């Protein structure tokens, strides 16, 4: 690892020359396709000159255009590795770069006065280049996310300081694996904070252990979240990382105020950081979610209602108890409601849970038992296929649940919550959620909470749709369900 390299110069999964070469090739091909649209297909306006012009006179301009595309993309920072940059932002940078390149080529037409010129063709070329660039970036995002979700091209991260900011970073990294960051552990000088690991993120001790951790744990990136009042300690940790060539990031002091509510503005070159209030689901957002829930349930009615009747019939024929299992759960703002599921366990399942918790050592705040002996043979099929949750649709119709949101806990689980865990109860609970599509039953409780909080703070309608779409293959492949 070379610590002197800028963030945009550090190694990525793909070779550095690949994307610039692809962009230049797409620019050249766009010129060729623009020629075909103008002279062969004659879209929009016919070619008045009866003599069919050859593409050969355009080749020098196409080569210059391809070079300009690369230079403008470089100038606008499209080749910098900026984690979390939005696809729409990339499209804007592509469009502005293409506009500059087209203007330069148009100026060359005016100055050189070649025999073959077409301003309409340049419009085709610009549109095709923007489309090709946007599509290539989207496909690249999907490919990188696919590889990173499988552990290829990830960066192993050590977080120093597991306060509010450290936990927020942990939640983002666990919620967005496509960004390529894998938190493997943390250091903190507070004995209470480092007393136990957080899910699969190990507690490696105090900051004095930094050198040993860097030497033995294969750390690629260190992120320091201490406040600037600990400047001397931050300086010591920084020097330790630099001596070993380890990539280092430091969370600015301003971010300590409210990491999720900092907005960056540029006022004619002056950088402004705005600190907003805690985000919450407005009434408008709640109404949007409600409309989406009812719309999708209505559209799915021809599928889930017959399926529910078939499952109910199978449970009735099994004859081991009632068809529906009713359990008290805690919903939005701590309101209790009766959640409905198809029965998948023996009659005295809840009474046996205490014995299983003691024997298995599972976290009582989020107990998940592998090979649970309480599950009936038919119940195993229902659970593996998630068919036992079909009656949750009635809870959604009644407004007690949503299709997407944190999974509703039991009152007994809530009694064990710390104060920060109660944020999960700020919104309507859901049938599926962000952590379910990222690992389902395999997510430890603390990570689950951080991912639920990430969802609450970053909710958008498109995020709900993404979760619903990701839930389908999870259910079909029965990934992480038991």
Residues 6+ apart with CB under 8 A from 448: 199, 366, 435
How far apart, in whole angstroms, are the C-alpha atoms of residue 53 and residue 115? 9
Per-domain residue ranges for the chain? 7-149, 155-275, 283-476
pLDDT at 439 over 90: no
Q: Is the pTM of this model over 0.85?
A: no
- 279 pLDDT tier (thresholds 50, 70, 90): low
Give mean pLDDT, residues 379-408: 92
In this structure, the number of other CB atoms found within 10 A of the CB of residue 97 comes to 25
Q: State the pLDDT at residue 283.
A: 79
> What class is the 155-275 domain?
alpha beta
Nearest to 450 by CA among 418, 481, 472, 428: 418
In this structure, the number of other CB atoms found within 10 A of the CB of residue 44 comes to 10
Give mean pLDDT, residues 233-243: 89
CA 330-331-336 angle, 5° bins: 50
Look-up: residue for tokens 């009644």? Answer: 398
Q: Are 378 and 386 in contact (CB under 8 A)?
A: no
pLDDT, tens only, 299-338? 999 999 999 999 999 998 887 778 999 999 999 999 999 9
pLDDT, tens only, 201-217? 899 999 999 999 999 99
pLDDT, tens only, 93-120? 999 999 999 999 988 888 887 766 777 8
Q: State the pLDDT at residue 334.
A: 92
How far apart, in whole angstroms, are the C-alpha atoms of residue 123 and residue 259? 43
Give mean pLDDT, residues 264-273: 61
Q: CA torsion 340→374→378→314, rounded to 10°?
A: -50
């Amino acid at each position: 690892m070379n610590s002197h390299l800028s963030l945009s110069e550090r190694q990525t999964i793909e070779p550095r020359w690949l994307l610039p070469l692809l962009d230049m090739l797409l620019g050249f091909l766009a010129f060729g396709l623009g020629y075909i649209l103008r002279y062969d297909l004659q879209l929009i306006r016919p070619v008045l000159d009866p003599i069919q012009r050859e593409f050969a006179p355009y080749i020098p301009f196409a080569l210059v255009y391809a070079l300009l595309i690369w230079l403008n993309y470089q100038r606008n920072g499209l080749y910098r590795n900026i984690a979390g940059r939005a696809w729409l932002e990339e499209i804007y940078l592509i469009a502005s770069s293409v506009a500059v390149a087209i203007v330069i080529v148009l100026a060359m037409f005016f100055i050189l006065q070649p025999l073959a010129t077409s301003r309409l063709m340049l419009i085709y070329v610009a549109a095709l280049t923007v489309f090709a660039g946007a599509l290539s970036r989207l496909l690249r995002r999907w490919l990188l996310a696919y590889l990173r979700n499988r552990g290829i091209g990830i960066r192993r991260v050590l977080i120093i300081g597991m306060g509010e900011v450290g936990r927020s970073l942990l939640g983002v990294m666990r919620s967005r694996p496509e960004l390529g960051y894998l938190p493997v552990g943390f250091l903190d000088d507070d004995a209470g904070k480092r007393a136990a690991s957080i899910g699969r993120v190990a507690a490696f001790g105090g900051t004095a252990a930094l050198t040993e951790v860097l030497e033995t744990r294969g750390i690629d990136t260190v992120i320091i979240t201490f406040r600037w009042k600990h400047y001397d300690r931050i300086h010591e940790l920084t020097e330790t990382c630099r001596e070993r060539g380890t990539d280092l990031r430091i969370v600015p002091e301003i971010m300590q105020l409210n990491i999720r509510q900092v907005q960056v503005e540029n006022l004619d070159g002056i950088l402004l950081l705005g600190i907003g209030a805690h985000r919450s689901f407005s009434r408008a957002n709640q109404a949007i979610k409600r409309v989406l829930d009812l719309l999708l349930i209505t559209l799915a009615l021809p599928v889930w209602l017959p399926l529910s009747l078939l499952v109910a019939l199978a449970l009735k024929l099994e004859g081991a108890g009632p068809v529906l299992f009713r359990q008290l759960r805690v919903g939005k703002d701590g309101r209790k409601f009766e959640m409905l599921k198809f029965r998948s366990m023996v009659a005295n399942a809840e009474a046996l849970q205490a014995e299983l918790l003691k024997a298995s050592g599972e976290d009582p705040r989020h107990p998940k038992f592998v090979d649970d002996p309480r599950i009936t043979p038919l119940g195993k099929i229902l659970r593996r296929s998630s068919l036992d949750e079909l009656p949750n649709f009635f809870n959604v119709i009644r407004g007690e649940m949503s299709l997407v949101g944190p999974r509703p806990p039991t009152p007994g689980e809530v009694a064990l919550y710390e104060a920060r865990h109660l944020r999960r109860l700020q919104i309507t609970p859901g049938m599926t959620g962000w952590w379910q599509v990222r690992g389902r039953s395999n997510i430890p409780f603390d990570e689950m909470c951080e991912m639920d909080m990430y969802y609450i703070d970053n909710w958008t309608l498109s995020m709900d749709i993404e979760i619903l779409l990701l839930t389908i293959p999870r259910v079909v492949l029965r990934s992480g369900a038991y």
